[in-house]
Amino acid sequence: MVKQNKKIIILNEVEAKILLGQAGIPVIDTRLARTKKDAVSLSGKIGFPVVLKIVSPDVVHKSDAGGVKVGLANAAQVRKAYTEIITNVKEKVPGARIEGVSVQKMAGPGVEVIIGMTEDDQFGPVIMFGLGGIWVEAIRDVAFRVVPVSARDADEMVREIKGFAVLRGYRGQEPVKISSLTKLITRISRFIEKNPQVKELDINPLIASGDGVVAVDARIVMKP
């Protein structure tokens, strides 16, 4: 947890996932390792394959800094990934404060989606939903609703994006369980209502599949 200059508080990935998990939002099992030895023993507990990621208040885009290694299948790969992550981050973000490395279960295949919350000056908290990657960044194919978001609103949000066809399954890909997605959106809405001190929230990505949904990256900003 880090206090910035204006005293907003930014929760790291591990802290944000704990909070979301307590609110009934499915999150991937994630722990914080402070040493390489820790990372190896936590991977054993979580079960391979695992993902390692940098945890630093100075690194917002972890992959850009070489701070994410996915699909690690054994202890040797975890040790190597740990060293590489620390080396990459020190080189790409000189002086970055490193809290440790998160160790998490590798999620199964699925469609990457994004759920976010920002505060609008006029409407207050607004929830955004879209597909991950270029869909959001380049095409801005997203749906917005003002909190509180009902089950019906959530269902509309999911269906109104152009990328809905991808969620329904295309080229033999398994369709996503839409009911898990809409339930998740309403849970996020309730979480925001119950926690007005949350200023910004980002789940990017949430992995959606035929089995359900799971958040693999999360960021929460709290008001002072």
Q: Which residues bind Mg ion (CB under 5 A)?
A: 204, 217
Q: Which is nearer to ligand ADP, 186 or 204 (CB)?
A: 204
Q: Which is nearer to Mg ion, 99 or 217 (CB)?
A: 217
3-state helix, strand, coil in the chain (%, to 5): 35, 30, 35
Q: Which is nearer to ligand ADP, 15 or 217 (CB)?
A: 217
Q: Walk across the sheet containing 100-105 and list its strands.
A: 30-33, 100-105, 50-55, 68-72
CA distance 89 to 59: 8
Neighbours of 109 (CB within 10 A): 9
Contact of residue 68 among ligand ADP, Mg ion, none (CB under 5-8 Å per partner type)? ligand ADP
Residues that bind ligand ADP (CB under 6 A): 28, 51, 53, 61-63, 68, 70, 104, 106-107, 112, 204-205, 216-217
- To the nearest whole angstrom, how small is the minimum distance from the Cβ of residue 37 to ligand ADP? 21
Contact of residue 186 among ligand ADP, Mg ion, none (CB under 5-8 Å per partner type)? none
Mark out the alpha helices in the chain (DSSP H runs): 13-22, 36-46, 75-92, 134-137, 151-160, 164-167, 178-194
- To the nearest whole angstrom, how small is the minimum distance from the Cβ of residue 151 to Mg ion? 27
- To the nearest whole angstrom, how small is the minimum distance from the Cβ of residue 215 to Mg ion? 10
